[in-house]
Amino acid sequence: MILVLLGAPGSGKGTQSKKLVTEKGWPQLSTGDMFRAAISQKTPVGLKAKSYMDKGDLVPDEVVIGIVEERIRAPDCKKGFILDGFPRTIPQAEALDRVLENNARSVGRVVFFQISDDFLVSRLSGRRSCTKCGAMFHLETAPPKKAGVCDACGHSPLVQRDDDQPAVIQKRLQVYRDQTAPLKGYYERQKKLYSIDATLAPDQVYENLLSALK
């Protein structure tokens, strides 16, 4: 199974993919992790990506695709893998299809996490993280036992990340709508898209995700 998870920031893709990793044993591939691994291993595409990142430039699609292709050839991807946060654009999706075809593979299922902007802003703006251990809380759905203090550390303060500020969230959602949302139509035309309600409780979302894979 080669699975692509689509959805806006905060729609729950990362949470659900971690459950799939545990149950199915498929590695979760994110561009950030792949970049860091390729750079630390000093692979040719990793060094090329680093040259752009060091200058503060966006890494071109052909380099991103090269890193993805290098990663999916690893032994742990043989039985399948999960792509979370990639592809982000239709050109990236087209390039991914070509890379997989060259390796006699193809995307098996694309799951779209359906959620409204208002729900997302509420979900993300309520998040708080520990400054010491990184534990995550939510003011409404998973509050700490003591306001503003991490349960795990017992005394470390909780903060709101800059990218969870409402104004920043709206900018992130606009970038998503402009660049990534068109992928829904791309995969619909391939008859690979399955939509699930991402506003449900996490356990129910996971059950629906498993149903989408059958």
Contacts of 198 (CB under 8 A, 6+ apart): 7, 11, 12, 113, 114, 115, 205
| Separation CA 97–CA 100 (nearest Å) | 5
Q: Which two tokens stand for residue 187?
A: 């995969």
Enzyme catalytic residues? 13, 88, 127, 161, 172
CB count in 10 Å sphere of residue 132: 14
CB 204 within 8 A of CB 120: no
Please give the Cα distance from 160 to 123 (Å, whole number). Answer: 12
